[in-house]
Amino acid sequence: MRIDELLARGSTRSFEFFPPHSAEEAATLAATIEDLADLDPSFVSVTNRGGSAARERTFELVTAIERQGRLTTMAHLIARGQRRDDVADLLVRYRDAGVANVLVLGGDPPTEGPDVPGDFAHACDLADLVREVGGFAIGVAAHPAGHPASADRAADRDRLAAKLAGADFAITQFFFRADEWSSLVADLAERGVTRPVLPGLMPVTALSSIGRMATMGAPVPTELVARLEAADRAGGASAVRAAGIAAATDLAAELLARGAPGLHFYTLNRSSATREIHQALATSDRVAHVAESGPRRSPADLPRPARAQRRTSEMLDGLRDEG
């Protein structure tokens, strides 16, 4: 299904994966997909690091998941360093494979090797090509705190509004205060843009993650850092993890209460934290009224776990990047 159609039907929930780079990562991803599939997500997305090799790994994983017929997929597309003809060909291949959703991203400068010039100056230019090829729901990225490359918050919002003018929805970078999402949506509304903006969530489950999240443009607020440090003093790593998941659950519930159109989880190819947050939300009176995004399958309708995981492991075989 197209994600714009899913959003029109009600609240969505979605998970993000990345292509595996080793046999161990492939096994972990297979288990994660099977564990999260019985939550019946509205869709799953697959990241793309940029470059032709990464582009193909994303294509192979997206289409392999799509062929299983259980999960709606969304492929990430990177503008930086890409040639128009290559992307047009890729889009046709996605469309032929039954993939109906793409997330258009500008892309980061390469950490290794030269910054190869491409045909797209911005994500908007890539979105234009996606519309020209046709057949896709188009998502774009949003940054509640503003993109690190933006001159200021107003300039960031203006650019996001321009991106959404040619897209169907946005998905945010992860963040930790509900006011950040509300402010972003209000800023867009002032610019006449009311497209759905899905909040992206990533729980802080270890103190070592705090610095890394700041480098990704989403610093952990001081009050949450203090909460996690207090948990560490009281009970060590397990207590930190529990406190981080509780904080993410509170944030998710608050976002839904404020009218967020759904929740998008950055899973890092692992399922336990995402599953725990879902279970907590399912038993929370605060979000019991949230609309379902469509008919839900019962556990009896789903494949047997061991058999399904074996099939998924086979599906991922050959998608690993051994280099």
* Alpha-carbon gap, residue 130 to 189, rounded angstroms: 25
| Collapsed DSSP state (helix, strand, coil) of residue 222 | helix
Catalytic: 16?
yes
| Collapsed DSSP state (helix, strand, coil) of residue 137 | strand
Strand partners, 105: 78
CB 211 within 8 A of CB 204: no
Catalytic residue among 5, 16, 180, 322: 16
CB 203 within 8 A of CB 167: no
Residue 276: half-sphere exposure toward Cβ, Cα within 13 Å = 17
Neighbours of 117 (CB within 10 A): 9
- Residue 49 tokens read as 């690091």
Positions marked catalytic = 16
